[in-house]
Structures are given as structure tokens and as C-alpha cells.
Structure 1
Amino acid sequence: MLVLSRKKNESIMIGEQIEVKILAIEGEQIKIGIVAPKAVTIHRTEVFQAIQGQNKEALAMTTDVLEQLKKHK
């Protein structure tokens, strides 16, 4: 893990296309802005983990369930 110190209005670059900028520091909360191409998805960790969990559940679905769904059309 790379650890960097930044002040308000300073930023870091990830590659050539992603910029992470410190917008505000309020107590223990830091507001950041991310500039990235539209093709790059950006999620908070808890949202990303929820998406991954739902994807795993969908992959675990048996073909029986899919056949039942086809019958209910």
C-alpha cells in the first residue's frame, strides 16, 4: 500500500487518466473528488462488496430456478 499525505486542494494521479483530489477536510471526514474516464467504475467499498456478493449469489443459481422462471412467462 502506498501512503501519501495531501492537503486541501492537492491531488494525486493514478496512471494518466485518474485524478483524486482532496476537496475538504472537516474533523475526521475528508471529502474527495475523483476524475476518471466514464469507462472506469467507482464505488464506495461497501457498495462494491454488496455488488460482488449479489454477483456470487447469481452465479450460484441453479438451472432449475432458471427453468422455473421460463415457465412463468
Structure 2
Amino acid sequence: MLVLTRRAGERLVIGDDVVITVIEVRSDGVRLGIEAPRHVRVHRAEVLAAVGEANARAATADAATEESLRGLVPPRGARRPAEPEPPTEPGDVPPRGARRPPEPEPPTEPGDVPPPADPPAR
């Protein structure tokens, strides 16, 4: 480990692109400024250790937690619930996610002329 003494405003260069500047020296600590490219990860050691411990605790589950999570997933081979029935009266609003039935063809009256057929493809 390299141990250096620095005063406020002095800098330390690591490699070609990391610069550490002593911002302020107080009786309860030192404030540092770190200039580094985005690909260089800079973390406080105590925060990194706390995150690692939290991840390790989250990765383990007791039997009660496993059982409650299993209750959220339907068993394999279970059938999905049927879709809700579409409305039957004109003007009814279907429930969210329901499909509307196709619109019925307007009734034809005697004397109505059918629309022209599409010309045959060449």
C-alpha cells in the first residue's frame, strides 16, 4: 500500500485518466474529488460490502417465503381462466381486455344494389 500526505487542493493521478483531488481536510474526515472515465467503477468500500451482504440475504429464502411465492404461480398444466364474455347489447362497454364481436352487416332491403366486387387480379 502506498501512503501519501496531501493537503487541500493537491491531486493524485492514477494511470492516465484517474485524478483524485483533496477538496477539504477537517477534523472528522477528508473530502475527496475523483475524476474518472465512466467505464471505471468507483465505490465506497463500506457501501459495496453492505450491498453484497444484502444480495446474499436476498438470495436465500426460508420455507415460508418459498411457499408464499409458489402460491402466486398457477400449477403446471392448470387451465387459464376463460376470457370474459363480450357485451350483448349495442352500446355496452366491454370489460378491459375483452374482445368486441364483429359488427353485424347492415340489413339489406329489396332494391339495394350490392357494392361492386373487386376487379380480378392480373
> Which one has a larger percent helix, Structure 1 or Structure 2?
1
Q: Distance in 2 between matches of 1:42 and 1:58?
A: 24
Q: TM-score, normalised by structure 2?
A: 0.46
Read off the aligned partner of 1:4 and give its amino acid letter: L
Partner of 1:51: 51
Matches within 5 A, 1:35-46: 35-46=35-46
Which structure has the bigger radius of gyration? Answer: 2
Aligned length: 70
Partner of 1:6: 6
Pick 1 or 2: higher relative contact order, CA cutoff 8 A, min separation 6.
1
> Which one has a larger percent strand, Structure 1 or Structure 2?
1
CA RMSD of aligned residues (A): 2.7
Q: Which runs of 5+ in 2 are unaligned?
A: 75-122
Q: Distance in 1 between matches of 2:9 and 2:17?
A: 18
Q: Distance in 1 between matches of 2:5 and 2:45?
A: 21
Note the C-alpha offset of 1:43: 1.7
- CA deviation string 1:17-68 (max 9, x = no partner): 111110011213111000011112222111110122234446667xxx6x94
Q: Report sequence identity in percent.
A: 30
Read off the aligned partner of 1:35 and give its amino acid letter: E
Give the ranges of 4+ consecutive aligned residues of structure 1 lying more than 3 Å apart after TM superposition.
54-61
